[in-house]
Chains A and B, each alone.
Chain A
């Protein structure tokens, strides 16, 4: 089946540094990837929609200059958390839409746990 890979699966960084998270669709082309954030014991909150070859669309309240998203190819999207602070510590999850499948089938990555010290 389709697989979406995220890397790194966990990262610890110092406050003020930037962290890049990759999301790859391994066996299908994803025209659209979504980035979610999940705090402990809470649900997933959509941060932004990433379309291949165009600028990402951010949800209300999400700082686009802080969370840089790049979707340079049909199999790769990256999320860069710039100047990370402890409040950015969270579980970041991407999902990818397979354009050959129905709209009800979005595949999620395994998530990347970010801890900012």
Chain B
């Protein structure tokens, strides 16, 4: 079983829609949960991370973690064509190793 499961999509939405991305993880010991954005042929860029359960908001982005169900979510409000990218969820172990999901490819149509 993979440590982090993520539906690879692809996901296509019209401009202005809400993008909803989800992951599940298996190891209940994980405390840090990350979301990265990766453009084609580029390294991942950290969008935001959360510690333990709860919500975190940064501009149009909201990350949620539900540790009881081992569920991680990212919401993008008022999506823009520039948001088109691959979004990777990840968990961070105590020795700082990242376990990535498969990544979901998102296209925001103008």
Contacts and interface: CB of A to CB of B under 8 A. Distances in A.
Interface of B: 6, 8, 32, 34, 36, 41-46, 49, 51, 88, 92, 95-103
Given A44-B88, A97-B96, A103-B32, A91 B41 contact: yes
B44 A44 contact: yes
A13 interface: no
Contacts of A91: 41
Given A44-B100, A97-B96, A111-B41, 8 more contacts: A32-B96, A43-B6, A43-B102, A44-B98, A45-B100, A104-B51, A105-B46, A105-B49
A110 B97 contact: no
B96 A42 contact: no
Nearest to B43: A108
Interface of B is mostly: strand
The 9 closest A-B pairs by CB, nearest first: A108-B43, A104-B49, A43-B100, A111-B43, A110-B43, A43-B102, A44-B100, A108-B44, A104-B32
Contacts of B6: 43
A32 B97 CA distance: 10
Contact of A110 (B34, B42, B101): B42
A3 to B, nearest CB: 11
A49 interface: yes
Nearest to B105: A41
A56 interface: no
B92 A103 contact: yes
